[in-house]
Chains A and B, each alone.
Chain A
Amino acid sequence: MEYETVIGLEIHAQLLTRSKIFCGCSTKFGEEPNTQVCPVCIGMPGVLPVLNKRAVDFAIKTALATKCAVNEYSIFARKNYFYPDLPKNYQISQYELPLAIKGNIEIVVDGNVKKVGITRIHMEEDAGKNLHEGIEDASHVDLNRTGVPLMEIVSEPDMRTPEEAVAYLKKLRDILRYLGVCDGNMEEGSFRCDANVSIRPVGQKELGTKAELKNMNSFKFVQKALEYEIDRQKELLEDGKRIIQETRLWDSNKGVTISMRSKEEAHDYRYFPEPDLVPLVINKDWIGEIRNGLPELPDAKRARFVKEYGLPEYDAELLTSTIAMADYFEGCVKLYNQPKAVSNWIMGDLIRELNENNIDIADSPVSPQKLTDMLKLMDKGIISGKIAKVVFEEMFKTSKDAEAIVQEKGLVQVTDESEIEKVIDEIIKANPDQLAEYRSGKDKLFGFFVGQVMKESKGKANPAKVNELLKKKLQ
């Protein structure tokens, strides 16, 4: 039987505020355990939570960027459950009246554009962290993360393949990064993804029984976990078995999803309105203010790069993957109006060096000024494209100007005809067999001679001149 996969994603994004959502404790990651806690976030009796205004601003930003309708009136609710990382025994979240509803994000998979609906966006507080490894007969609890502001973004079950799910995730992460509301780090857990997956026979309207997948902390794992789960469900149905609604954990070591039976029991959270917090009312002025402050978003920027700079879609997509990269590109183009040449250097040598050295493009040792100065040296014929690669590497290592490197290393291109002729003569003399073959009609050997001359001149000979002179000499 042919099956169709149905995937919906729930994202938890940590908001980049300085302080927690309901108290003034710092949200800084990686600090000493239990040093960023106070009576409010560790649930002492008699304290009152007070909502962080910036967290609300960030959630509104996200809602607008994902075309959601911001609810004028929203309230907070208590979600009640017991777990050691939850000191109050309830999580302050939003339930019946979330901050925003009904938006969408556009994704592109295999050249096809698709809209993925967003059901809702709500605000809530994060829980603490339980540690188990290397501890005998006990677990340890660190409450630094307790009360860090989170945004939960719930999609419609609109995705049909793991590829679509990953495209949605990436697009959402890019948007959050553009907005500056979340750093989008899946490994560190500031951008977490749970997936609801089910399959149904093609043509069937009703959804199949779903499994909820957790613990996928990279895009690759999301892809793999979904692929595994879809296969698992197909096999079950084909064997005439039933799919059980349950939570399953992705085990990246074994490459499988595992049932998490402990969580199945009593999914009864007894939500009720949080009496310690007053309603949140977001009027049109507030929304307007946030809307005016929105940056150009990835889709708009990509489209503009194609239109304004005449770049291929592929280049535009890559160059707009982060604001920093796009800014770098536009910084270069302002200084040197050859968008495609700039794009090639960024996508090739620059990104390779940055990745190899684990440096962010905003901190690149080769600034837009330095890169474009080098490109201008090429245009003037002072260095060849081949030498430029050497100069670039040196610039990356030393942060020196291209011109200084060219001088220091004597890399100026040789255009003087007599000097090039001298090299050509030597090469011809040293390769009599190849010369004979070439003259007897083996045209392919022309490339061999060019290569030899360039090698002999250590890449400094002007390639156009070499071609021109070689043609004459070889006749």
Chain B
Amino acid sequence: MKITKKEVEHVALLARLKFSEEEKETFVKQLSGILGYVEKLNEVDTSNIEPTSHVIKMQNVFRDDVVTDSLPREKALSNAPDKTEKFFRVPKIIE
């Protein structure tokens, strides 16, 4: 499967990543290669196999509706690049 430069640019935009022209060309090649490799799976006949979303044979893992301790606010905010005493601070969002 061939990935186009346009697709690379679209995915980059969605992921908020900025690439040089050179990098884009590299990714066109690399992503096409990866997809081509994965495409090999299409050679397997899966017509009688249920699609799966999970490889582990497990289902219905629950927790009870019980409140447990939250983080102290100071800790919750400690990794943020910008913050106030109470809030995470981000560039102004224009709606």
Q: Does A82 contact B (CB under 8 A)?
A: yes
Within 8 A of A (CB), among B1-41: 10, 13-14, 16
Q: Any chain B CB within 8 A of the CB of A444? A: no
Known: A37-B70, A275-B54. A131 touches B65 (CB 8 A): no
Which of A34, A53, A278 is close to B64, meaning CB atoms less than 8 Å apart? A53
Tell me how many residue pairs across A and B have CB atoms closer than 8 Å.
Answer: 129
| B-side contacts of A50, CB under 8 Å | 61-63
Q: How far is the CA of A270 from the CA of B84 in the complex (A)?
A: 33
* Interface-central residue, B13, B53, B56, B95, by most chain A CB under 10 Å: B53
Q: Assess whether B93 is in contact with A130, with CB atoms less than 8 Å apart.
A: yes
Closest A residue to B94 by CB, please name it. Answer: A262
Report chain A residues within 8 Å CB of B66: 18-19, 24
Asked whether, in the complex, the Cβ of A280 is within 8 Å of the Cβ of B91, the reply is: no
Q: Does A52 contact B (CB under 8 A)?
A: yes
* CB interface residues, B 60-95, toward A, < 8 Å: 60-71, 73, 76-77, 82, 84, 86-95
Interface flag for A138 (CB, 8 Å): yes
Contacts of A273 in B (CB 8 A): 53-54
A436 sits at the interface (CB 8 A): no
Say yes or no: A278-B76 contact (C-beta < 8 A), given A26-B70, A130-B93, A137-B92. Answer: no
Chain A residues with Cβ below 8 Å from B56 are 278
User: In whole angstroms, what is the CA distance A249 to B94 when docked?
Assistant: 14
| Interface pair B68/A34, CB less than 8 Å apart | no
In the bound assembly, the distance between CA atoms of A141 and B84 in angstroms comes to 10
Kindly list chain B residues whose C-beta atoms are within 8 Å of the C-beta of A142: 86-87
- Give Cα A268–Cα B11 distance, bound, in whole angstroms: 10
Q: When the two chains form their complex, are residues B14 and A266 in contact, meaning their CB atoms are under 8 A apart?
A: yes
Smallest beta-carbon distance B66→chain A, Å: 6
Please encode chain A, from 137 to 174, with 1 for each CB lying within 8 Å of some chain B CB and 0 for all others: 11111110000000000000000000000000000000
For this complex, into which size category does the number of interface residues on chain A fall? 35 or more
- With A32-B73, A34-B73 known to touch, is A24 a contact of B68 (CB < 8 Å)? yes
CB distance from B74 to the nearest CB of A (A): 10
- CB of B71, distance to nearest CB on chain A (Å): 5
Query: Of B53, B61, B71, B86, which is within 8 A of A39 by CB?
Result: B71
List of B residues within 8 angstroms of A139 by Cβ: 89-93
Is B68 in contact with A25, judged by CB distance below 8 angstroms? yes
Cβ–Cβ contact A262 & B67, under 8 A? no
Given contacts A130-B93, A279-B59, contact A38 B87 (CB under 8 A): no
Q: A18-B67, A53-B64 are in contact. Are A34 and B13 (CB under 8 A)?
A: no
Known: A24-B66, A53-B65, A82-B16. A143 touches B88 (CB 8 A): yes
Q: Is B90 a contact of A260 with CB atoms below 8 Å? A: no
Which 3 pairs, one residue from A and one from B, show the smallest C-beta to C-beta distance?
A: A24-B68, A273-B53, A140-B87
Q: B residues bordering A, Cβ < 8 Å?
A: 10, 13-14, 16, 53-54, 56, 58-71, 73, 76-77, 82, 84, 86-95
Given A135-B92, A266-B13, A273-B53, 7 other A-B residues pairs in contact with their CB atoms under 8 A: A24-B66, A34-B88, A38-B69, A53-B65, A56-B62, A140-B84, A141-B88
Please, could you name 25 A-B residue pairs with CB atoms under 8 Å apart, sorted by A?
A: A18-B65, A19-B67, A24-B68, A26-B70, A32-B86, A34-B76, A37-B76, A38-B71, A42-B76, A51-B61, A53-B62, A53-B64, A56-B62, A84-B88, A132-B92, A132-B93, A138-B89, A140-B87, A141-B87, A141-B89, A266-B10, A268-B14, A278-B61, A279-B59, A279-B60
